[in-house]
Structures are given as structure tokens and as C-alpha cells.
Structure 1
Amino acid sequence: MATDSRSTGRAEAPARGATGGRRRAGRRVAVLVGVLVLLCLPPWWTLLAAGTDWPLPVVAAGTAVLLAWAVGFPFLMVRGHRPRSRDDRAARIADTSLGVVWVLWTCSVLGALADLLLAAAGVGGAGRARLVAAAVVLLAAGVLARGHHEAMRVPRVRRLDVRLPRLGAGLDGTRVVLLADTHYGPIDRAAWSAGVTEAVNALDADVVVHAGDIADGTPVQRRAQAAPLGAVRARLARVYVTGNHEYGSEAQGWLDRMAELGWEALHNRHLVVERGGDALVLAGVDDVTAESSGLPGHRADLAGALAGADPDLPVLLVAHQPKYVPHAAAAGIDLQLSGHTHGSQIWPFRYLVRLDQPVVRGLSRHGERTWLYTSGGTGFWGPPFRVFAPSEITLLTLRAGEGG
């Protein structure tokens, strides 16, 4: 009986695709299980198993709690963070529990190291493991309480001068207020948002910048939390660019919403502000993830943003991620303002953030002309904690001329 090789090939191709899909899914599940085991193992070992000699019911109860979290966490995350149908209650539980487990993991690792050092020094005796376990729990509780307070309060103002040699004398002393990563989300922070607006207005800004990641959710879902941004005051301009999180929650919708609130959306475009007879170009680009979103017209396009701008004028560029700075430096940008890193948000994530970004927070120089300021973030993402990474509202005073 004859066989059509072309038909066989067509039949085999979907089969190979299905097999490959199953393998990829299997790898993802294996990675997830591995991560969850690594997160749970140090707390389990330090608190329950490393010579603590707790009664069996205590060990069983503690093990059951960690196991229940590991099993339930992925389902809560998926349910809580689906782009179109977010369950804010599930998100709050998943995000908060992740922060708790991460801090407990860090404290448990430190506790295990302390236990080894004490054992090597012959300190503590038979009760040492229980004392270490108790210390780990108390330390984690203190860190979490402080970290939650830091995340939920209105940020302190960080002030610094930035000298731009090409800035005209008429613009010397221009006050630029930078917000970034407000991440309006599952926890209703409308009152916090109003507090941020009040703090910004007290700074008497010439320009207010929002460097993206405005929310986790659609403009409809986060309407009340974003509303206070409409009351932000600035003498010359209020400008905004998209962050990577907008591309999971209606990026164009957020551009439209910010325009509705009176902000200029720097969607690969620029505007010029003037003071004292001198001019400054305010330019912005979409986030570097925009092109992969598939949204027509969304990509980081610096050439488009600067099209038609006078090349002799100084340029302040807003780009969500610090790693865009090589493009800024190559174009001779005077100052790039960014966010994205959250200053690492929860220690010791700064060492992982540094693998992806050139700077975690603060002012840095790139190339012959370009300054980059990376905000530590105004809000928080996910776990409602900030550990050794305070939030900020930034006041940058632009200074003209050489020096300093």
C-alpha cells in the first residue's frame, strides 16, 4: 500500500510540536518546583530540623504550613495576576506570603551560618539550635514589620543638584520632580496616592516626570488610585512614559488615561519648555519591552523621539529602564531619568538586579556627556515590603554651566 510522504510529514509535524510543547511545559514545572523547594528548605531546616529537637507535632505542623504554601502559591499567583481578570484578594495573599517567605529564607540562611559559627566556637550547647530558631523568627518579624511600614508610607523626598553644561542660564535652578514605579495594584492605595500628590505639590516643581510602571492593572481597575495624579502641579510640564508593566495591562489605555489627567505622554516624542529665554527638550521613549508586546507603534524609538528637536538644545530623556542609557549616551543626551529597579526593594535582590541593569539607584555618569538618575521607586511591586531599599520622591535641581 502506497504512503503519501507529504501527508505523513504534515501529520508528524504537529506531533513533534505537541511533544516539544509538553517538554517545555515540563521544564517550566520542574523549574517552579525547584524554586519552591529552595525557598522552603532553609526555613524548614533552620526552624524545625537542625538539632532543634522540637516535639513531633510541632515539626509536623511547621512542615505542613510550608508545604501548603508551596502547593497553593502558584495557583494564587495565576489567579491574582491574570491580565484581564485579576483577583486582587488572591494577589494580596500571594504577594504578601511571597515577601514573608523570602525574608524568612534570608533570615534562616543567616541563622544557619550563625549556628555553624557558634558550634565551631563551642558556644550555646544543646539549646543553641532552638535559640537560633527563635532569633530567626524574631528577626524576620521585625524586618517584615519595618519593611511593610517603609512600603506603605508616603516616600521621603530625596534632593540633589545635577549640573548640565549645555543648560542655559535662564533654566538654572529648574526643579524637576521624579516619580517612578507607583505600581497601583491589589492593595488599594488611593489615600497613599493623594499623599504623594500632596508631597509633590509642596516641592513647587517646574517639571514633574513619571518614569513608568504606573500600575498593575488596567486604567479601569486602578482608576481611583490614579485619580490624584490629576491634581499634580507643575509650572512647565507634567510628562509620562510607559514602563514594562503597562505592557501587561493596556499600555495605550494608560497613555490615554494620563492624557485625560492632564499629563503629556512622551510616546516616542518630545516637547520643548522655556524659562528665562532658554529652552530644554523633554523627550521620552516607550519601554524596551514595548516592541515585543505586538502593539502597533509601540517600541523604544529615540530617533523618533528627537525628530525635529534643535540639536543644540540640552535634552532630558525619560526612559523607564536604566539599561537604555547606552542609547542615550550615544545620542549625546544630557540627562536620562529612569526607574524600574525599585532600588532592589527587598535585600539582597540588588545583586540580582545588578545583573540586568547598569545601576540600581542614584546618579551616575555614562560617556562624555550623559548623566543617568535611577529612582529607587515611589511605590512597590508585589510583596508590600521594602527592606533596606527606601522609596523616594526625587527632586532634581538642574544647574547650568561647568563644574561640581
Structure 2
Amino acid sequence: MTDTSEARSADGAAHVPQQSRLRRLMRYLPLVAPVLLWAVPCWVLLHAGQHWPLPVALGGTALFAVGLVTMPITMMRGHGRRQQDRAAIVGATLLGTSWVLFTWSVLLGVLLRLALTVADVGDGRTRARIVTWAVLGVAATLLAWGYAEARRVPRVRRLDVQLPRLGAGLDGTRVALITDTHYGPLDRARWSARVCEKVNTLDADLVCHTGDIADGTAERRRAQAAPLGTVRAARAKVYVTGNHEYYSEAQGWVDLMDELGWEPLRNRHLLLERGGDTLVVAGVDDVTAESSGLVGHRAHLAGALAGADPDLPVLLLAHQPKFIDRATAAGIDLQLSGHTHGGQIWPFHHLVGIDQPALAGLSRHGTRTQLYTSRGTGFWGPPFRVFAPSEITLLVLRSGEGATGPRNA
């Protein structure tokens, strides 16, 4: 009979080389991905049977080559030690553009070409040129629309959420959620003010920000974040850190939010009381906090709930949806998260799904716990949103059973 420990050891030994190979492959991803993003569209648009005049083919290829070289350089200058805002804008715009071109070059390069072949439209050169103009037309349209979507003030998404343990005195409690504002290289101070004005029209009892306020330090992005100080809530304004705070002096953001009148829920809770009933509103640091090396920063759910009556319903703020496993194990009633941006630029949501258990909207986990994942209020990096609209969310908490579902307001 085989010893169990020996079997596990053999299993582990086989597993380690697989992990090592995966890690080695992941190291090359930053090198391979930019090449694919620019080389595939270049081939599909210029060298897949179009037979363009030589100046067109050479000029177009040179343009793609410039994009391939410029994008990683400007991304490094913009997001590395130098933190050059202009470089960050150029790099992010090129990243978004190349992603859209790559996506539609692959889709139309296969599907449209196949359809044209089946329909016997023209010869090979004609079909190839139709594909080129179709890809350029679709990409230009989506980039223009996506830019407008990213820069507009988000629409309000209204959602009734039933919490069976919520007391009748708290029925109708209005919770406004903003998240992932990502104030950054593009100055969005006016946009920030308009977002806050819209939040103030919601007459919320509780306003929540679930992290990723900005890219950059609090001192550097203070002007864009300042309008958050104008947000009004009948009971409280609460905030938790996101992973991007830990790229740029998280404690500075905690201090600034406190200064602006928001209560940072760093592994702690407060009580919201009305009509003789009580709701525990808790928050945890982002799951990346501990690896940041900042003393006292970590996601500690037990600390957030310490001293709370276990029979009371709990609303938890946690930046990343993946925290839902711990929330479910602790019997949390509702977790509010952001982080995913709903994918931001289609079809990136497929990659987001590898890392996160939910992309957007309300989902149920276990017998008690629900998770609401916002698509985010702002955008990160590329100033585009394609098939992933931003949102300001108004959740109306209801006692008892029978959710009515989401709607735009």
C-alpha cells in the first residue's frame, strides 16, 4: 500500500516544475504582448494580400513599428520612477488603441474574410482591402465612442438589494457607491466635481468609496480629489483602500480622505442605526496591503468585525471582489467592491475573469452573502471604455426577501 505522504510528495514534486515553467512563461509576457498587439494588426491591415503600393506598405509598417517602440517606453516613463504625466497619457492611449486594433484585426480578419470568401465577393486582394477598411472603421468608431464614454459623468445605476437579516427600521436605507475614480495624468478636476454633484442628488444615507482613488500621491492629485470633500451623506461617508493606493503612498491617501471628511474603515466598523435597528458597516484594507510593506496595513476581517454583535447584518467594503471567499466564510450579508472596471475595454473582461470571481453587478455567494461589483466611476490607463460603461451606484437596502433587480436612474 502506498504511503499517503509519499504520494503527496510525488504530487508536489510534479507540481513544482509546472509552476516553475508557468512563472518562466509569465516573465516573457511583457515582452511578447506588445509585439503581438502591434504586429498582428500590421499584418492583417497591410500584408495579408492587400498588395498596397510600396509607399503605403512601408509607411504603414513604419507607423506600427513606431507604436511598438513608443508604447513601452512611454508606459515606463509614465508609471515608473519618473512618473511623467505626458508620457503616461501617450503610453496609455497607445495601449488602448493597439488593444482595439488587435481585437478587431483578429475578429474581422477571420470572420469577415470568411464571409466574403463564402459569398464570393471579389478576388483575394479585394477581400483583403475590405477587411482593412472595416477594421479601421470599426476601430476608429469604437475609440471615439470609448473616449466619450470614459470622460463623461457616469449614469446612476439603481438597485434594490434584499437583506433578510436587515431590520424593518433600516428598510429603504440608501447607499451610494463610487469607486476606482483613478485621478491621474489627465486632469479631471472638473469631472470630479460633477461626479460629486451627481452623488449629492441621490440623498444617500451612506456614501462609500471602495478604493483606487488615484494614480499618484495624494499631494500630486489633491486638486482632482478635493471635490470629494463636497460629498454629502445623511449618516456617514466611508472609504477603504484599493491596490493602486499601495503603488503611491497609501497612508497619504488615508490621511487626505480623513481630512476631506471621509471615514477610512481600515479593518474596523461603525454602526448605522435607524428605527431601532442597526447595520454594521465594516471595511478592510485591500488584499495587496500586506505585501506593500506598510506597517499596520493588511486585510483583516476579524479586526474589522471585532466587537460587533454577530446577530446584526453586515455591509462590508472590500476593494477586490476576490475577498468574497473570506466574506462568505464570515457570514457577511453584503460586500461592495470595485476593481474590475467591468473589463473597461472589450473583450478584456475575459482576462479579468481569470483573477476575479465577479465582473459586475449583484451576485450571490453561499446561502447568505451577496456581492455587488461596480464597473467603476472612472478609468485606469487608456482613456477608453468600450462595452463597459462607468457607473455611480445607488443601492437601496430592503428587509426581507424578493429583490426587484437593477435599473438605471
User: What TM-score do the two structures reach when normalised by structure 2?
Assistant: 0.90
Q: Which residue of 2 aligns with 1:19?
A: none
Q: Deviations over 1:178-199 (max 9, x none)?
A: 0110000000000000010011
Letter in structure 1 aligned against 2:184:
G
Q: Which residue of 1 aligns with 2:86?
A: 89
Distance 1:30 1:276 in 2: 58
Q: Which residue of 2 aligns with 1:16?
A: none
Distance 2:73 2:188 in 1: 25
8 Å Cα contact 1:184/1:215 also seen in 2: yes
Q: Deviations over 1:15-70 (max 9, x none)?
A: xxxxxxxxxxx988843332122111221112101111111111111111111111
Letter in structure 2 aligned against 1:82:
G
8 Å Cα contact 2:235/2:272 also seen in 1: yes
Q: Any residues of structure 2 matched to 1:380-399 within 5 Å, and which?
A: 380-399=379-398
Letter in structure 2 aligned against 1:315:
V
Matching of residue 172 in structure 1 with residue 174 in structure 2:
no
- Cα 1:30–1:313 shift into 2, 3 Å: closer
Q: Any residues of structure 2 matched to 1:46-195 within 5 Å, and which?
A: 46-82=44-80, 85-113=82-110, 114-125=112-123, 126-195=125-194
Distance 2:222 2:149 in 1: 24
Letter in structure 2 aligned against 1:210:
H
8 Å Cα contact 1:148/1:385 also seen in 2: yes
Deviates more, 1:130-139 or 1:345-354: 130-139
Gaps of 5+ in 1: 1-25
Q: Deviations over 1:249-291 (max 9, x none)?
A: 1111100000000000000111111112211111000001111
Letter in structure 1 aligned against 2:364:
R
Deviates more, 1:104-113 or 1:283-292: 104-113
Say which SS state the counterpart of residue 175 (structure 2) adopts: strand
RMSD after superposition: 1.5
Matching of residue 36 in structure 1 with residue 30 in structure 2:
no
Q: Which residue of 1 aligns with 2:351?
A: 352
Q: Which residue of 2 aligns with 1:296?
A: 295
Distance 1:27 1:79 in 2: 25
Letter in structure 1 aligned against 2:303:
G
Say which SS state the counterpart of residue 280 (structure 2) adopts: strand
Letter in structure 1 aligned against 2:231:
V
Gaps of 5+ in 2: 1-23, 404-409
8 Å Cα contact 2:180/2:339 also seen in 1: yes
Percent identical pairs in the alignment equals: 67
Say which SS state the counterpart of residue 222 (structure 1) adopts: helix
User: What TM-score do the two structures reach when normalised by structure 1?
Assistant: 0.91
8 Å Cα contact 2:38/2:67 also seen in 1: no
Q: Which residue of 2 aligns with 1:269?
A: 268
8 Å Cα contact 1:46/1:111 also seen in 2: no
Q: Deviations over 1:215-257 (max 9, x none)?
A: 0000011001000000000001100000000000111110000
8 Å Cα contact 1:177/1:208 also seen in 2: yes
8 Å Cα contact 1:166/1:400 also seen in 2: yes
Say which SS state the counterpart of residue 378 (structure 1) adopts: coil
